[in-house]
Structure 1
């Protein structure tokens, strides 16, 4: 509130082009685009999958090099060393190509990346890897050892498993690396398959490659789901941040409006009260005929109406100001030692004449020896007067209003006002508790009132840390209950006989 200026009030709206709001709006839009296109090949998801592939390719390069060297060393048992070295060079070159592409991809800025182009490059690199491993079947084709057949199948399955896990984030790359391996298996096993003994082994190898394809699709689908969940989380975070920004903006506008309202009320209360004082003063002089009787009797009635209207208007202004101060948290409690039964007794005396005119009986039930409370006496008096006035106003002739003052179970104090009037419909209770709200019974009886009494009472009670409760049933009456917390109840002054307690001040009752 201290930072609110007249210029801000005059402007009256927020500059939506601020960098912070623009940044959050962009972040929210990106998150929504990711989520809405999660399964439709969105470029953001494609780049994320390509990044996962590149990181996996770089992480697996060292184990793959070691595996290639081990396979080459074992292959020298059947083939010349020079031939094996040529194959090893080809295989390592294919791995180096894929690794270099992955490193280059990770170094580029996200804005510079073309997902389709890199998708094709990685697919080509995996196809070269698949061809390098398929060439191993050509090398071992002339070997007649039966152990070599098992060895070749193990090498092919091992290569297929590693490349499937690494390339699973790029589905086309999986097919590109497994297709040459499948062709190599068929090429290597075809001559012996026709003879019959190794036909089951060939079928098992093809079935294993098919399983790797299904496994790659499952891995890809699980990562798509994971990215979708991540996008949902990002979107929720972005929406929460935007909601917080909107809330902060709404709070700032509310503070500006509250300040403007406070200034308006302060100005208007002064401007209205000045002529009202003249209206009330002169109308009272004229209705009492202090300077002589009226020539026409109707003038006296007009003066009474003017004075009554001015009094009602002054009461309305006072209630609006009280309510605005309570709602704005600017109502300052002038706390002192107060006797709650004494305040209730004074209010009953003030309203005795009004109750008699309406033929309403008022009864009070007060528990004896109640200590004083620490509260604002004016506020407590206003609370009691408002509640008692309402009870008398809506109680029919011959009815009864019962006021009770006593202790609560936790050590606090309460007072209640109960009448046997027509009651309030349950659906109208929120209405009468709102500012300027009036129930159907008040409108039917054309009772005067502003509809601010109960909201003011509730606000004043809550400022004291208490609770305000209204219960009512049709044709059974209404009961309002005001409860003050134990911390407001004061203990008796300590005796002066004990020296160690001589300088103590009265404390607050703390029993719960």
Structure 2
């Protein structure tokens, strides 16, 4: 599945999986004590004491060693080899039990020992299959001495038991191979996914930095364009006002008026680009004051009333009479409303309607909605409509000016106020832009 060059090193995960799980080591001690309680009448006291002391010493040493290895700076492969050695010794400590029973044990004693060893070796699969040699060492160390002792007794019942132990050990080895392969495959996939995640995160950070640099560069460019454009507007205004003397040719007056109007429009676009660039780059700050919201909305309606009348669009207010004053940036609030109303006017055909409504929601949110009866936007293109400099290629948009930053700028300004901006649209029915601003 993985080429030699792309296979990630899973040894650190294997070592961590083995060393983290200490339940198997503690289980060895608990089960050993249980075995002694059952076999204490069969085995001599000295033998019993020696075996349980050896088990306790070995497993205690393994516990301390596992704790130390997890914190050590050793290479993961070296940790695996040390742990494997401990697993082999632990298996052999169980293998010693049938050896001790060989001179004195009955069929029942060997059956009990076999039962204990079978349970320990089966249960160890999940804990030790992080590293196949560790499990195989534990399995063979525990089962081969038991099988050898049973076969040495040469009686039919013992021979049958010995054969069963060998068959059981083979089956566990096969099962552990499949289990280990699946586990290692999962580890490799996790490593590969983690590596891809790091790659994607690095790419995301690079893109975010590039985006930040783009907006900063655009903001600086817009700032530098304002000075010459102001000069164009100023000088053209002087010329059309004939401050320095009359202009003889009427055509020249027309050209000067065109220059002034075009320059004014270009400066407006430059200012909008500067605002959206500063907002996207995190360079825009607010100057909050107490604002009469009802008055601000009325001013906005008045400012756009003439344009609506010229285009044959009905501009309808539905503003609550109990709107409170709120703390916000008055100029930016006006800019938000102007952008949204201008956008609605651009997309509403003659005979259409725009409704500006405002009321209080949930006692501490001001909700302002601007709904038009324009052609609407398909749902799958709403996100596109909120992207700066994106314009829809339809006849309604081409009839009017605009560079596709009204909605994105309005959204960013609303978010800077701690509010929420949502856009809902139905093709053929129109679009509703909703601003929700906190009153507190």
Question: TM-score, with normalisation over the residues of structure 2?
Answer: 0.70
Structure 1 CA distance for aligned equivalents of residues 369 and 288 of structure 2: 22
Aligned to 1:478, the other structure's residue is in SS state strand
Tell me: CA distance 1:248–1:71, structure 2 relative to 1, closer, same or farther (3 Å): same
In the alignment, what sits opposite 1:156?
A: 110
Corresponding residue of 1:321: 274
Question: Who is 2:325 aligned against?
Answer: 372
User: C-alpha displacement at 1:245, in angstroms?
Assistant: 9.6
1: distance between equivalents of 2:368 and 2:83? 78
Q: Find the structure with the greater CA-based Rg.
A: 1
Q: Which residue is equivalent to 1:172? A: 140
- Quick one: which of 415, 418, 431 aligns to 1:465? 418
Give the Å deviation of 1:411.
Answer: 5.5
Structure 1 residue 293 corresponds to structure 2 residue 268:
no
Q: 1:392 aligns with which of 296, 321, 345?
A: 345
Structure 2 CA distance for partners of 1:112 and 1:232, relative to 1, 3 Å: closer
Q: CA deviation at 1:452?
A: 0.8
Q: Matched residues in 1 for 2:86 and 2:219: separation?
A: 70
Question: Equivalent of 2:42, from 46, 71, 75?
Answer: 71
Q: How does 1:247-396 map to 2 (within 5 A)?
A: 247=201, 250-251=204-205, 254=208, 258=212, 261-262=215-216, 264-265=217-218, 267-290=220-243, 291-295=245-249, 297-396=250-349
161-170 or 244-253, which deviates more: 244-253
Q: Which residue of 2 aligns with 1:418?
A: 371
Q: Does 1:111 align with 2:78?
A: yes
Aligned match of 2:168 = 214
Deviation at 1:454, TM superposition (A): 0.9
Distance 1:416 1:429 in 2: 17
Residue 25 of structure 1 aligns with which residue? none
Classify 1:274/1:229 alpha carbon distance in 2 versus 1 (closer, same or farther; 3 Å).
Answer: same
Unaligned runs of 5+ residues in structure 1 are 1-27, 36-42, 75-84, 141-150, 191-201, 489-512
Cα deviation per residue 1:232-251 (whole Å; 9 max; x = unaligned)? 58985996699579748955
Q: Residues 387 and 166 of structure 1: is their aligned pair in 2 closer, same or farther, counting only changes over 3 Å? A: closer
3-state DSSP class of the match of 1:363? strand
Report deviation, 1:268.
2.6
- Judged with a 3 Å threshold, the aligned counterparts in structure 2 of structure 1 residues 285 and 127 are, in CA distance, closer, same or farther, namely closer
Q: 1:447 is matched with which residue: 382, 400, 408?
A: 400
Alpha-carbon distance in 2 for matches of 1:117, 1:348:
81
Could you tell me which of 411, 431, 435 is aligned with 2:388? 435
Instruction: For residue 351 of structure 1, give the secondary structure of its aligned residue in structure 2.
Output: helix
Count of paired positions: 410
1:134 Cα deviation (Å)?
Answer: 8.1
CA offsets 1:142-189 (integer angstroms, 9 cap, x no match): xxxxxxxxx63223323434444556643433552233233234x2x3
Deviations 1:291-338, CA, capped at 9 Å, x for gaps: 32254x554444344333322332222112212333344433222222
Q: Describe the SS at the equivalent of 1:71.
A: coil
Alpha-carbon displacement from aligned partner over 1:219-242 (angstroms, at most 9, x marks no partner): 995798599769958985996699
RMSD across aligned positions (CA): 5.3
Unaligned runs of 5+ in 2: 1-6, 123-134
CA contact under 8 A between 2:358 and 2:368: conserved in structure 1?
Answer: yes
